[in-house]
């Protein structure tokens, strides 16, 4: 009965969301009213069961079951049980000023504790949908040198680069909230295009004399996946101002990395019209990569400059001097934005349109600052209309979205459809269906024709399908990363890369 669920929700909020006992009577009446109930349940509920919940999924499931058997309570303004729970848990989560106060207090003592506080709160109120995230498919893929972290993410919608570019031209005044990143999403009830965010809490940070906000990513691509967002709805621009903010961030959170996507379509992130960074635990495969080349230069004692042994073009700067690091980062970026090498197809502009961009990422190790600058270019031509230095068309069956900073660091987030598509191929392969039949009878897997062809030639045993498919996806992702490199791995590409660094 719904009355019991109300009591469970109140107990859950007390145990997991720090709802004060003083406020329980008040919220009981709010919930009774919300569900159209006349009086509360008087019996005893199982508190230890609620204590043992790691997230509110069981409460959502219970409401689903109640709606299925008894129909939707007449007073509810939502029809989706998950939206009902988000609304209720959002209401019983401490209000932003309280969260901000607690976060700031913890941050003064220990940044890890501050981050953990926001993380636990975000899971408890279902902003991070942990139950869904646990269902994602993950594996670590060793490569000849280095490794990748691979994830098929079941919650994240697949984006289209054309749509991403179109968003840039949208006028924010036409919409409320102006974009999915704007602070005005905190507490928002949701509409056709924007998800409900009653349970979102974003805490303010001072980054190099500007207020920015930190929140968790609802999709949690990796440990402590946070987003740091500017207060104003301004388009992304990667300039020395941004580098200073990244460095200021790691001074506050030395145990996290922070980076920004590039500021142009195809090579950038999915929301270019609002400045934001992405950060998290230092778990990215790229951080483990060795140097391929170390630049010898005067001033060597102050800064180390190297090219990373990596599939895309990563320059690594290391220095205990913030000033020196920032100066060098600005210099390399300015050089790249104007660098032309027609033989290699690297052209920074077409008329007024800029193609060159960088993706910066910063970490701190004890007193040393490390900045990774990834060189990007989004030019297209007749052969590669979706991008010369983007995933080439033969790999779009696996990933066609922009290859942003997370993939650049070796963590590949693949679309949910791959689970069902590869599941279907496995089932058909086990049944002994021919490759030609697979392709002609199942339109959803036609895009994987090349994989099917190779699979048929491989003659692997059906039990080996999963490993075979994962290896294939890893190989495709490595090729995609190589596609994004402007200086290719051949002798001419590497010689030009070193020459660029010496500019
Ligand atoms: Zn915005």
Note the pLDDT tens digit of each residue in 360-410: 999 999 999 999 999 999 999 999 999 999 999 999 999 998 899 999 999
Distance 273 CA to ligand 1 centre (A): 7
The model's confidence at residue 490, banded by pLDDT at 50, 70 and 90, is: very high
Distance 203 CA to ligand 1 centre (A): 16
**Does one domain contain both 125 and 33?**
no
What's the pLDDT tens digit per position in 111-131? 999 999 999 999 999 999 988
Q: Which of 83, 111, 131 is the C-terminal boundary of a domain?
A: 131
Instruction: State phi, psi for 262 to the nearest 5 degrees.
Output: -70, 165
The model's confidence at residue 173, banded by pLDDT at 50, 70 and 90, is: low
Distance 180 CA to ligand 1 centre (A): 6
What is the H or E stretch that residue 158 is in?
A: none
DSSP string, 292-359: EEE---TTTTT-EEEEESSSS-EEEEEES-HHHHHHHHHHHHHHHHT--BGGGTB-SEETTEE-EEEE
Distance 163 CA to ligand 1 centre (A): 16
In which domain, by residue range, is 79 found? Answer: 2-92
Instruction: Output the pLDDT for position 375.
Output: 98
The two beta strands, 368-377 and 314-319, are antiparallel
**Does one domain contain both 244 and 339?**
yes
**468 contacts 460 by C-beta, under 8 angstroms:** yes
Which tokens go with 217?
Answer: 């990513």
**Does one domain contain both 117 and 237?**
no
Distance 96 CA to ligand 1 centre (A): 18
Distance 229 CA to ligand 1 centre (A): 9
Q: Looking at the domain assignment, is residue 220 inside a domain? A: yes
**Does one domain contain both 344 and 238?**
yes
Q: Return the biggest CA–CA distance within the chain.
A: 80
Distance 179 CA to ligand 1 centre (A): 4
Dist. CA 179–CA 51, nearest whole Å: 36
Which tokens go with 228?
Answer: 């740091």
Distance 227 CA to ligand 1 centre (A): 13
Dist. CA 27–CA 35, nearest whole Å: 12
Q: Which of 82, 111, 131 is the C-terminal boundary of a domain?
A: 131
Which tokens go with 488?
Answer: 């290719």
The two beta strands, 226-230 and 276-281, are antiparallel
Q: Phi/psi zone of residue 342: left (φ > 0), alpha (ψ -120 to 50 degrees), beta?
A: alpha
Look at the chain and report how many structural domains it folds into: 3
**Does one domain contain both 50 and 105?**
no
**Does one domain contain both 388 and 242?**
yes
Output the CA angle 271-274-279, nearest 5 degrees.
75
Distance 105 CA to ligand 1 centre (A): 27
What's the pLDDT tens digit per position in 308-333? 999 999 999 999 999 999 999 999 99
Distance 233 CA to ligand 1 centre (A): 4
**Does one domain contain both 120 and 143?**
no
Residue 348's nearest CA partner among 425, 267, 294 is: 267
Q: Looking at the domain assignment, is residue 468 inside a domain? A: no
Q: Looking at the domain assignment, is residue 435 inside a domain? A: no
The model's confidence at residue 83, banded by pLDDT at 50, 70 and 90, is: confident
Distance 195 CA to ligand 1 centre (A): 14
Q: Looking at the domain assignment, is residue 239 inside a domain? A: yes
- Residue 203 predicted with pLDDT over 80: yes
**Does one domain contain both 26 and 165?**
no
What is the H or E stretch that residue 365 is in?
A: strand 356-365
State percent of the chain over pLDDT 70: 96
Distance 74 CA to ligand 1 centre (A): 35
**Does one domain contain both 122 and 147?**
no
Dist. CA 137–CA 154, nearest whole Å: 8
What is the H or E stretch that residue 372 is in?
A: strand 368-377
Residue 372 β-bridge partners: 316, 361
Which tokens go with 460?
Answer: 């692997």
CB-based contacts of 144, cutoff 8 Å, min separation 6: none
Dist. CA 155–CA 86, nearest whole Å: 16
Dist. CA 177–CA 199, nearest whole Å: 16
Instruction: State phi, psi for 362 to the nearest 5 degrees.
Output: -125, 140
Distance 184 CA to ligand 1 centre (A): 8
Distance 234 CA to ligand 1 centre (A): 7
**Does one domain contain both 66 and 152?**
no
Mean pLDDT of 437-452: 96
Dist. CA 246–CA 432, nearest whole Å: 54
Q: Looking at the domain assignment, is residue 461 inside a domain? A: no
Q: Looking at the domain assignment, is residue 339 inside a domain? A: yes
Residue 208's nearest CA partner among 251, 174, 239, 176 is: 251
Distance 178 CA to ligand 1 centre (A): 5
Q: Which of 76, 92, 108 is the C-terminal boundary of a domain?
A: 92
User: CA separation (Å) from 404 to 193, 357, 400?
Assistant: 23, 12, 12
Q: Looking at the domain assignment, is residue 477 inside a domain? A: no
**Does one domain contain both 254 and 380?**
yes
**Does one domain contain both 330 and 377?**
yes
Residue 304 β-bridge partners: 318
Q: Looking at the domain assignment, is residue 231 inside a domain? A: yes
Global pTM reads 0.94
Distance 214 CA to ligand 1 centre (A): 14
**431 contacts 169 by C-beta, under 8 angstroms:** no
Distance 185 CA to ligand 1 centre (A): 9
Distance 235 CA to ligand 1 centre (A): 8
């Amino acid at each position: 009965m719904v009355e019991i669920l109300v009591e469970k929700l109140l107990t859950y909020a007390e145990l997991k969301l720090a709802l004060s006992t003083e406020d329980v009577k008040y919220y009981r009446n709010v919930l009774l009213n919300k569900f159209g109930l006349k009086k509360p349940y008087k019996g005893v509920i199982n508190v230890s069961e609620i204590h043992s919940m790691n997230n509110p999924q069981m409460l959502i499931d219970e409401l689903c079951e109640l709606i299925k058997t008894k129909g939707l309570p007449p007073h509810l303004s939502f029809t989706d049980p998950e939206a009902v729970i988000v609304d209720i848990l959002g209401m019983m989560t401490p209000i932003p000023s309280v969260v901000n106060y607690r976060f700031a207090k913890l941050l003064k003592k220990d940044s890890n504790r501050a981050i953990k506080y926001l993380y636990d709160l975000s899971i408890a109120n279902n902003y991070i949908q942990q139950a869904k995230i646990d269902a994602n498919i993950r594996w670590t893929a060793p490569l000849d040198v280095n490794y990748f972290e691979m994830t098929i993410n079941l919650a994240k919608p697949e984006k289209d680069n054309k749509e991403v570019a179109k968003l840039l031209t949208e006028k924010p005044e036409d919409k409320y909230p102006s974009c999915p990143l704007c602070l005005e999403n905190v507490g928002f009830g949701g509409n056709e295009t924007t998800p409900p965010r009653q349970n979102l809490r974003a805490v303010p940070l001072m980054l190099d004399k500007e207020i920015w906000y930190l929140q968790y990513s609802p999709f949690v691509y990796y440990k402590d996946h946070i987003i740091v967002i500017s207060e104003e709805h301004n388009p992304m621009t990667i300039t020395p101002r941004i580098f200073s903010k990244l460095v200021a961030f790691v001074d506050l959170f030395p145990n996290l990395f922070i980076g920004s996507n590039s500021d142009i379509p195809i090579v950038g992130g999915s929301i270019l019209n609002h400045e934001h960074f992405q950060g998290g635990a230092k778990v990215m495969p790229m951080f483990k990569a060795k140097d391929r080349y170390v630049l010898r230069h005067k001033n060597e004692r102050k800064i180390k400059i190297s090219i990373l042994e990596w599939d895309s073009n990563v320059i690594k700067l290391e220095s205990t001097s913030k000033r020196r690091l920032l100066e060098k980062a600005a210099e390399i970026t300015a050089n790249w934005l104007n660098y032309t090498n027609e033989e290699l197809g690297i052209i920074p502009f077409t008329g007024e349109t800029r193609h060159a961009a960088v993706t910066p990422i910063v970490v701190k190790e004890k007193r040393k600052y490390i900045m990774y600058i990834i060189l990007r270019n989004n030019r297209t031509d007749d052969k590669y209309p979706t991008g010369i230095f983007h995933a080439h068309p033969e790999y779009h069956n696996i990933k066609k979205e922009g290859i942003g900073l997370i993939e650049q660091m070796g963590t590949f987030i693949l679309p949910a459809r791959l689970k069902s598509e590869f599941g279907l191929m496995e089932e058909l392969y086990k049944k002994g269906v021919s490759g030609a039949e697979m392709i002609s009878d199942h339109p959803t897997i036609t895009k994987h024709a090349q994989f099917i062809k190779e699979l048929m030639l491989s003659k692997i045993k059906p039990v080996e399908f999963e490993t075979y498919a994962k290896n294939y996806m890893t190989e495709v992702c490595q090729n995609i990363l190589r596609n994004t490199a402007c200086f290719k791995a051949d002798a001419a590409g590497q010689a030009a890369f070193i020459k660029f660094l010496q500019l």
